[in-house]
A and B are shown apart, each in its own frame.
Chain A
Amino acid sequence: MAVYSFYIFDRHAECVYKRRWLPRPASIAGKSRPTSDTPTVANGLATMPSTRTTDDDAKLIFGTVFSLRNMVRKLGGEDDNFVTYRTSQYRLHYYETPTNIKFVMLTDTKSPSMRVALQQIYINLYVEYVVKNPLSPAEHPGGLGVDNELFEQSLEQFVTRVLS
């Protein structure tokens, strides 16, 4: 199983952490819905030059999970939440804490549910290393984000050892 990328969004809708493991393979270049400025080519994938940056990706992903979450809640009630969705190219896993921190992971389509893994990342890594670090700011305004070596190292280990 391959993990493509991982994002954390805080309650202010700010992307406070992003990490990509593989250089985006051409085959998942179309991983966000095609928009007007990224015209889809005949076979739908692969050949279009990617003009999006990781920042754009993060915004698109936030938009996707934010809208999807709200629609899911409208349909299934306030406590409902979506867990994952899958396209032909990737699978997106989603975990949101009651404090509105959103954890998003993109993996290949064959991967099992990552909900527990995301929860583990929140409980054992994010809370332990970021929240409990007295010198790290409680909020991460202005795109500064989580800049914490312990967290990054442990995340790296978690993803390479536990998930692969």
Chain B
Amino acid sequence: MSSSTKVSRIGEELWKTKIDKVNAELVTLTYGTIVAQLCQDYDGNYHDVNKQLEKMGYNIGMRLIEDFLAKSNAGRCANFRETADMISKVGFKIFLNVTPTVTNWTSDNNQFSLIFDENPLADFVELPDDGRAQDELWFSNILCGVLRGSLEMVQMQIEAHFVSDVLRGDDTTEMRVSLVRYIEDEMPPEDD
């Protein structure tokens, strides 16, 4: 337990000292505009919108992890449970100022859920009333990509998806994260 509180203290400390803050509404509105534009571009094909958001997140994550490491000076996590704590209490804390709850571990410690009590991306949002968005669009799907991209850079292949979202009328916003495998070091190509 103490390691978990230590991690949250690290997150708090970083948030207070090292992070440049921007107006939350700017973030919310910018993100909302991106999603709205994608919905238009893909002609309401929400499946593709989800996919595109995930991809954008992936590209963000690949870079964000370096910023995360530079700021937090964090070392490698010993196990996936530590990783989950780090994601919630330091990662989400310093970039979005939220700490989603880590819960619902599977017994093999390879899968957990993040429950978002608050989600700055989704403030002011109402999903389109076309009868499909409520069932198909995962509005904050960019976050899944961010996790996948950033963890891939630290040698973890994961899969992340939302299983519920308050925007759809669910009780909670929950993301499921599963560890697929640890990525081995790449070897340089053989010399000719």
Say if the beta carbon of A122 comes within 8 Å of chain B. Answer: yes
Residues of B within 8 A of A79 (CB): 75-76
Which of B46-54, B66-74, B167-175 forms part of the interface with chain A? B66-74
Which of A95-103, A107-115, A148-156 forms part of the interface with chain B? A95-103
Best-buried of B66, B67, B154, B185 by chain A (most CB within 10 Å): B66
**Do A62 and B59 touch across chains, with their CB atoms under 8 A apart?**
no
Flag A57-98 by CB within 8 Å of B: 1 or 0 each.
001001100100000000000110000000000000000011
| Nearest residue, chain A, Cβ from B77 | A98
Minimum distance in angstroms from A129 CB to a CB of chain B: 11
Say if the beta carbon of B131 comes within 8 Å of chain A. Answer: no
Count class of interface residues, chain B = 20 to 34
- How many A-B Cβ pairs are below 8 Å? 46
Interface residue ranges of A120-164 to B (CB < 8 Å): 122-123, 126-127, 131-132, 138-139
**Do B67 and A98 touch across chains, with their CB atoms under 8 A apart?**
no
CA–CA, A132 to B69, complex, Å? Answer: 13
Say if the beta carbon of B43 comes within 8 Å of chain A. Answer: no
Q: Contacts A11-B153, A79-B76, A138-B59; is A99 near B66 (CB within 8 Å)?
A: yes
Q: How many residues of A contact B (CB 8 A)?
A: 22
Residues of B within 8 A of A14 (CB): 188
CA–CA, A122 to B69, complex, Å? Answer: 10
Say if the beta carbon of A26 comes within 8 Å of chain B. Answer: no
Say if the beta carbon of A24 comes within 8 Å of chain B. Answer: no
**Do B59 and A13 touch across chains, with their CB atoms under 8 A apart?**
no
Say if the beta carbon of A19 comes within 8 Å of chain B. Answer: no
Main secondary structure of the interface of B (DSSP, over half): loop
CA–CA, A127 to B67, complex, Å? Answer: 6
Selected from B69, B187, B189, B191, the residue in CB contact (under 8 A) with A99 is: B69
Selected from A100, A127, A139, the residue in CB contact (under 8 A) with B185 is: A100
Selected from B62, B154, B186, B187, the residue in CB contact (under 8 A) with A98 is: B154
Q: Contacts A100-B155, A122-B70; is A59 near B75 (CB within 8 Å)?
A: no
Q: Contacts A98-B74, A122-B70; is A11 near B186 (CB within 8 Å)?
A: yes
CA–CA, A122 to B66, complex, Å? Answer: 9
A–B Cβ pairs within 8 angstroms, 13 of them: A13-B186, A13-B189, A14-B188, A59-B191, A79-B76, A98-B69, A98-B75, A98-B154, A99-B65, A99-B69, A100-B155, A132-B67, A138-B59
Q: A63-B188, A131-B67 are in contact. List 14 more A-B contacts (CB 8 A).
A: A11-B153, A11-B186, A13-B186, A13-B187, A13-B188, A14-B188, A62-B188, A97-B69, A98-B76, A98-B154, A99-B69, A99-B154, A100-B153, A132-B63
Q: Which 7 A-B pairs have the closest CB atoms?
A: A13-B188, A123-B70, A127-B70, A131-B66, A99-B153, A138-B62, A127-B66
